[in-house]
Chain A
Amino acid sequence: MIEARGVVKRFGPRAVLRGIDLRIESGETLVIIGGSGCGKSTFLKCVIGLHSPTEGSVVVDGADVAKLKTEAEVADYRRRFGYLFQEGALFDSLTVAENISFGLRYLTDVPPAKHRRIASDCLALVGLKDVEDFKPAELSGGMKKRVALARAIAAQPSYILYDEPTTGLDPIMSDVINDLILDLQRQLKVTAIVVTHDMKSAYKVGTRIAMFHDGVVQDHGTPDHFKTTKNPYVRQFVDGLSKGPIQMRIKEFEGVEA
């Protein structure tokens, strides 16, 4: 179980998260939606320990992330997580198999002789084969996302954090990724947090949805709640309307001087 208790994150004078309280039960998939810059990815990074909350705490299975001190504690914590980065963040200089087995080397005691077979198994889980020796630059956008997903699950994590898993993909590939997320939930029984702008994806993979706005949780509930709620922030975001309580800071077009 992941529990965020009054998480505040400031970068200099700017507060990106202004008091997030959320509880993600084991086995559920929480989808976080919200406009760009509302703190969704920052929250994920607070959960995995890439950022430390300025105030408040993130507690995972009873352990406060900010209070992990020894190298062994940190390694044990990270071993429980898989993280899918927005652009995949595959290591350019390594092959697909080396990328996938990278975490096995540092997070587990799995002997190196087994790494390649595990990489192939993980690739099969995400629907890829015979790409072990390719470099990331040789893959398409969708394949990169799937390899990144294979890397995220290689060390058999209990939690998977997805940062915009369908961004930049065509609608068909987006749906393939959504199906993969659902398959992995079923097969690996993991707890997941999915950050996305994509409402189709949110409704499909989420057991619960939370909407962030201006650094706080504006609303949360089941996908059905989000389809019917009258909350004006949710309605504007879900329906994709430019007019509403969420103000976009767009400088008015003043014309072009001849």
Chain B
Amino acid sequence: MIERLLGGTGRGLLEAAEQAGQFAMLTRSTHGWLARSRVEWRQALIQMGRIGVGSLPVSSMTAFFTGMVLALQTGATSKHFFNTPLFVGTVVSFALIMELGPVMTAIVVAGRAGAAIAAELGTMKVTEQVDALYTLGTDPVRYLVIPRLLAFLAVLPLLTVASDFAGVLGGYFVARVKYGIPSTVFWHDIVDNMMVRHFVHGFLKTFVFAWTVAMVCCFKGLRTRGGAEGVGRATTEAVVASMTLVLVLDYFATALLNALGIT
């Protein structure tokens, strides 16, 4: 029993160490190609279209309803304590622009585009298309990983800005319709309290999330083994790992940005 437990733990640790090493090698190779400016721009543009256009409706809609819920809760809570809905615009905009916008957009895009990347690369791996790239004179990292990484880095910040905007609109809608807060009060709440550095705080995080989701999903896709079942497993692992990492890294990114005074 103890022997089996120790054996299982050991195997798990070895597997984790192996994956960490392979991920480090993929990261090194990716940035090596980037440093040499060997970019497949056509592929990158195609990926930007797929990730950006496809994700915009779902990320905006999610943010819109999140903004509505935030306004609803803020209004109800402040009404309970102060008998009137207060600071609805401030709470909605701060929560969305600094935290929820970047995090939720990254999670939605990981679930949609990240899963698609892991499944596509995984299928290419098990059908030997990745090997075929080598035999036809190109490196899979250059042809597959870099365009997707650049697409994520370009598109996720833009999607986040769109989500921030949609979320604030959602909040405004509830503030107006449910609580009858005048437009000027709602927008003044935001403009008077929100500084450029608050927006920068959220915006910078999106690059960390974009890098993480793209690299993790490409990594999981490229190490797929075992046919259709393996592709399914790789896709699930890619989505779970990238969503978890987004939430974990959000804490560390926030702590770092706070330490740097960008808060």
Q: Do A and B come from one complex?
A: yes
Indicate with 1 or 0, residue by residue over B132-168, a CB within 8 angstroms of chain A CB atoms: 1011111000000000000000000000000000000
> B137, A106: Cβ atoms under 8 Å?
yes
What chain B residues lie within 8 Å of A87 (beta carbons)? 127-128
B135→A81 contact, CB < 8 A: yes
* Docked pose: A48 CA to B138 CA in angstroms: 14
Report yes or no: B137 in contact with A85, Cβ–Cβ below 8 A: no
Complex contacts, B132 vs chain A, CB 8 Å: 83, 85, 89-91
Q: Does A75 contact B (CB under 8 A)?
A: yes
A220 at the binding interface (Cβ < 8 Å): no
User: Min CB distance, B119 to chain A, in Å?
Assistant: 12
Cβ B127 vs Cβ A78 within 8 A: no
Cβ of B15 under 8 Å from chain A: no
Interface residues on A, range: 20 to 34
B131 and A45 within 8 A (CB): yes
Give the interface residue-count category, chain B: 10 to 19
Contacts of B138 in A (CB 8 A): 106
Q: Is the CB of A78 within 8 A of B128?
A: no
Shortest Cβ gap from A95 to chain B (Å):
14
Bound form: Cα–Cα A45–B132 in Å:
11
A79 within 8 A of B: yes
A83: B residues at CB distance < 8 A: 132, 135
Whether the Cβ atoms of B134 and A50 lie closer than 8 Å is yes
Closest Cβ of chain B to A190, distance in Å, is 15
Q: Tell me if B129 is interfacial: C-beta within 8 Å of chain A.
A: yes
| Complex CA distance for A46 and B120, rounded to whole angstroms | 26
A140 to B132, CA, bound (A): 20
Q: In the bound complex, do residue A85 and residue B136 qualify as a contact, i.e. CB atoms below 8 Å apart?
A: no
Q: Say whether A236 faces chain B, with CB atoms less than 8 Å apart.
A: no
In the complex, chain A residues whose CB is within 8 Å of the CB of B127: 87, 89
Q: How many Å lie between the Cα of A92 and that of B123 in the bound state? A: 10
Q: Which residues of B contact A92 (CB under 8 A)?
A: 123-124, 129
- A141 CB–B CB distance under 8 Å: no
Q: For residue A49, which residue of chain B has the nearest CB? A: B134
Asked whether A91 lies within 8 Å of B135 as measured between CB atoms, the reply is: no
Q: Are B135 and A78 in contact (CB under 8 A)?
A: yes
Given contacts A89-B128, A89-B129, contact A50 B135 (CB under 8 A): yes
Complex CA–CA separation, A50 to B134 (angstroms): 7
Chain A hits for B131, CB < 8 A? 45, 50, 85, 89
Contacts of A89 in B (CB 8 A): 127-129, 131-132
In the assembled complex, 16 residue pairs joining A and B whose CB atoms fall closer than 8 Å, in A order, are A48-B134, A49-B134, A50-B135, A78-B134, A78-B135, A78-B136, A83-B132, A85-B128, A85-B132, A89-B128, A89-B131, A91-B129, A91-B132, A92-B124, A92-B129, A107-B137
